Structure 1
Amino acid sequence: LPRYQDMIKNLKEEEYYIAGYARKSVGEKNDQARVRLLNKVCQSLKERSLVNKVFVSVSYKADDELLTQDNKRNEDLLAKINAEGDMQDKKKNPPL
Structure 2
Amino acid sequence: MIIGYVRKSPSDVNFETRLKLVQQMVDNLRDRSLVDKVYVSVSSHASSPFNERDLNKNDGIMEKLNHVTGNTSDMLEYLQSIDHDICLTSIDFAGIASRAYLVKDLLEEYPIIKKVAIETFISNNEILLLDSQLLLSDNQVLERFDCRKKLIQRSK
Return the alpha-carbon distance in structure 2 between the equivalents of residues 66 and 18 of structure 1: 19
Q: Which residue matches 1:52? A: 36
State the structure with bigger RCO (CA 8 A, min sep 6), 1 or 2: 1
Return the alpha-carbon distance in structure 1 between the equivalents of residues 2 and 51 of structure 2: 17
Q: How does 1:1-96 map to 2 (within 5 A)?
A: 17-74=1-58, 76-82=60-66, 83-94=68-79, 95-96=82-83
Question: 4+ residue stretches of structure 1 with deviation over 6 A?
Answer: none
What is the DSSP-based 3-state SS (H/G/I as helix, E as strand, rest coil) of the residue aligned with 1:59? coil
Distance 1:31 1:75, change over 3 A: closer
What is the DSSP-based 3-state SS (H/G/I as helix, E as strand, rest coil) of the residue aligned with 1:19? strand
What is the DSSP-based 3-state SS (H/G/I as helix, E as strand, rest coil) of the residue aligned with 2:63? helix
TM-score, with length taken from structure 1? 0.74
TM-score, with length taken from structure 2? 0.47
Return the alpha-carbon distance in structure 2 between the equivalents of residues 58 and 21 of structure 1: 11
Aligned residue-pair number = 80
- The residue identity in structure 1 corresponding to 2:61 is L
C-alpha RMSD of matched pairs (Å): 1.6
Structure 2 gaps, min length 5 = 84-156
What is the DSSP-based 3-state SS (H/G/I as helix, E as strand, rest coil) of the residue aligned with 1:84? coil
Higher helix share: 1
Identity across the alignment (%): 34
Q: Which residue matches 1:3? A: none
